[in-house]
Amino acid sequence: MNTSKTRFLTLVLCTLAFISSAHAGTAPTYHPAVSAGLVKLQNQVLWEQDADERLPQASLTKIMTALLVLEKYQPDAVVTISPEAAAAHPTKIGLHKGDRMRVADLLAATLIHSANDACHALADWHSGNEEKFVERMNERAKQLGLHDTHFANACGFDAEGHYSSAHDLAKLADLALQNKTFSRLVTKQKMVIRTVDGKRKFIFQTTNALIGKYDGAMGVKTGFTFKAGPCLVAISKRNNVRVMIVMLNARNRWPNAREMFDLAFQQAPRLREQRVASRVVSSESKSL
């Protein structure tokens, strides 16, 4: 064996030993009380549990609703609230039949407060009624390759044929976050909006207990129904390191979310070292 090949083989073995020793016995264990979930550091999945299982996703549904609205976005368009939208429950901002609202304000209420009356009004505005909007949601899911996702309503109510998976929700959230309006709204703690005539004011706060309370939290969406349980897609970013967690039926949602973020950020330096070592091996192999 010539000298260069010997040197390369030695480098590979040393690098693999480094990676193995850095990983062995030090990788944190994720043990959230969830039916399904995942943790992603940058684009690497650190942990997953039943991430392809089809489960009710509650108001995480509203990520798709917002995406469709933003793909046709007319922030100053005026929506007249229908009786069906005004009757939506249980989480709402209190819209009345006949109220006239800007699309931008309805979108804010939908994403920040998870308001079902605002969500239903957006579906009406986008497609004429909720039934047609749901058809568009399912068409978009197919286009995006979300094979384990199907919608039966616009806002996330429990229903037959209404489900998603942790993998699909992570993919959907990543796409939605590429939109500046979406990414800006999901970081807000509270907001005030008004009807177009200014006669009625709505004050609401985020449903995300991490925003403003966990270092680096940047959204994304909460959800809860009795069938789905507490659900969450959350993003946190520190020193250019981005972590996403997805949790479906998370019985201890907020403490588990904080713990999962903490563990992921702890792993970041080691994974960075592994990537550097891998690049060294790759560079050396090309030089032979």
- Give the residue numbers annotated as catalytic, written as ranges: 59, 62, 114
Nearest to 225 by CA among 96, 89, 54: 89
Query: Quick check: bond before 246 cis, omega within 30?
Result: no
- How does strand 201-205 pair with strand 190-194? antiparallel
DSSP conformational letter for 29: P
CA distance 263 to 250: 17
Would you say 263 and 30 are in contact if contact means Cβ atoms under 8 Å apart? Answer: yes
Amino acid at position 163, single letter: Y
Q: What angle do CA 220, 223, 192 make, to 5 degrees?
A: 65
Tokens 């706060």 correspond to what residue? Answer: 205
Name residues whose C-beta falls within 8 Å of residue 164's C-beta, 6 or more positions apart in sequence: 54, 55, 57, 60, 61, 146, 148, 149, 150, 172
Q: What phi, psi does 48 have (nearest 5°)?
A: -150, 155
Edge-to-edge, what's the strand order for the sheet holding 217-225? 44-49, 36-41, 241-248, 229-238, 217-225
- Start-to-end C-alpha separation, the chain: 13
Q: State the burial class of residue 89 (Cβ atoms within 10 Å of its Cβ: 0-12, 13-18, 19+).
A: exposed
